[in-house]
Amino acid sequence: MTCPICEQVPTISDQAGELLLAPALGHTFGRVKERLERDLGPERLHRYGGNVMSIAVADHGLGGMLRRLGEQLTSMEARDCPALFLEAGEVFDPGMLTRMEYAETLIGRAQSIWLADMIEENRLEMHFQPIVEAADQRRLFAYEALVRGRSADGGLVRPDELFGAARAAGMLFVLDREARVTAIRDAQRHGIEERVFVNFNPTSIYDPNYCLRTTFEVAKEVGFTPHNLVFEVVESDQVEQPDHLLGILNEYRANGFQVALDDLGAGYGSLNLLNQLQPDFVKLDMGLVQGVHRDSSRQSILRNLQSMAADLGTRVIAEGVEEAAEAEWLAAIGIDYLQGFYFARPDSSPPSLL
């Protein structure tokens, strides 16, 4: 069984129908209704009762309607307003409550049709950045796979744009899964034999037993040795449910993969996670790494972080290295691996070392 949440790209209906809105508060209902009547005309709106209204939508009109709605609602109103689109002929019944989403999500989806098209048309790609051994910086240890997108006209789309749109549109599950699968396929296509670090966001994985199944199947299909795939938690300083994350990491480990935690030192929470999760690898927050050879306070912090990780048997990667002096200082205190522009920038063809 696969996970429908992770594998189905949400779409905007092109059918005629009605959009139901249920603002959270009565006075909010009145303000929203007044604005929409002024923008759309009172004949387009109907009050169901209570705080529920419907907006008539023409064929192929839902996307435009949602975008206009985004101009009329404040971000708080959209975030707190349950919504449901009924196609012509559908009659509301309680079973449809499971289909309701917040207006904010539907508006984000209408504004991010380009992202849905990109995923459907397989226009994600990976750029690879090398990770080297600190003790011998000519020796390649691994690559990190970093997702990029290609717009319809061939332009490069940055990851912050991709994931920002995905969050707004309720598509983070889908994008994160597609990025993991693309990373594995692209690494195999390039013939990478070293470890490959693959990013994932724990909030995009609802149930690891189902949401990760396709990822594991693809790794097996392309013949990637599980030990050579390292799944790296991104935004680890923002993890709110450590037990959920631990369940995800245990699922990876049970299938033979390794795990990594990023941004160690970005906050107190990351230190707690290091102790609770004891990952195979940890990445130091680049804010501590850059310029460390000139800053005695950061030097003290990094020495302590290195010692803590070593006591737990966790290997340490310093990312964001941009100067030779940084690399030399980090190697001298026993950091295991280094990553950054000093060695190579991410590229669609895995960079080789000089």
CATH number at residue 223: 3.20.20.450
Q: How confident is the model at residue 234 (pLDDT cuts 50, 70, 90)?
A: confident
Q: Which two tokens stand for residue 185?
A: 């396929």
- Enclosing domain of residue 184: 123-339
Helix axes 172-189, 159-168, angle to 10 degrees: 150
For the record, the structure tokens of 48 come out as: 């169901």
Is residue 12 in some structural domain? yes
Is the residue at 224 inside a domain? yes
Predicted confidence at residue 97, as pLDDT, reads 85
One domain, residues 89 and 131: no
How many CA atoms are closer than 13 Å to the CA of 349, on its beta-carbon side? Answer: 2
And the tokens for 347? 């590229």
The model's pTM is 0.89
Q: Which residues contact 35 (CB under 8 A, 6 or more apart)?
A: 72
* Domain match, 168 and 284 both: yes
Please give the single-letter amino acid code of residue 241. Answer: Q
Beta-strand runs (E) in the chain? 17-21, 45-49, 52-57, 82-87, 101-102, 124-133, 140-150, 156-157, 195-200, 229-233, 258-264, 281-284, 315-319, 337-339
Whether the per-residue pLDDT at 14 is higher than 80: the answer is: yes
| Mean pLDDT score, 9-34 | 89
- Do the beta carbons of residue 330 and residue 303 sit within 8 Å? no
Q: Which residues contact 98 (CB under 8 A, 6 or more apart)?
A: none
DSSP structure class, residue 38: H
pLDDT band at 280 (very low <50, low <70, confident <90, very high): very high
CATH of the domain at 39: 3.30.70
Given this model, what pLDDT does residue 277 score?
87
Q: Does residue 351 lie in a domain region?
A: no
Last-in-domain residue among 81, 111, 141? 111
pLDDT tens, 320-338? 999 999 999 999 999 999 9
Question: What's the rounded Cα separation, in Å, for the pair 174 and 115?
Answer: 11
Establish if 353 belongs to a structural domain: no
User: Is residue 3 very low, low, confident or very high in pLDDT (cuts 50, 70, 90)?
Assistant: low
- Angstrom distance (rounded) from CA 304 to CA 109: 45
pLDDT tens digits for range 173-229: 999 999 999 999 999 999 999 999 999 988 787 778 777 888 999 999 999 999 999
* pLDDT at residue 1 greater than cutoff 50: no
Mean pLDDT across the chain: 90
Which of 12-21, 99-108, 267-276 has the lowest average pLDDT? 267-276
Q: What is the pLDDT of residues 127-183, one digit of tens each?
A: 999 999 999 999 999 999 999 999 999 999 999 999 999 999 999 999 999 999 999
Verify that 194 and 261 share a domain, yes or no.
yes
Q: Give the whole-angstrom CA distance, residue 59 versus residue 45.
A: 17
Q: What is the pLDDT of residue 6?
A: 61
pLDDT tens-digit map of 237-279: 466 777 888 898 999 999 999 999 988 876 656 777 888 889 9
Q: Would residue 197 count as lying in a domain?
A: yes
Express as a percent the part of the chain with pLDDT over 70.
95
pLDDT at 269: 63
Helix (H, G, I), strand (E, B) or coil at 61: coil
Say if residues 199 and 208 touch (Cβ distance below 8 Å): no
Same-domain status, 85 and 215 = no
Q: Do 147 and 283 lie in a common domain?
A: yes
The count of domains in the chain is 2
pLDDT above 90 covers a percentage of the chain that reads 69
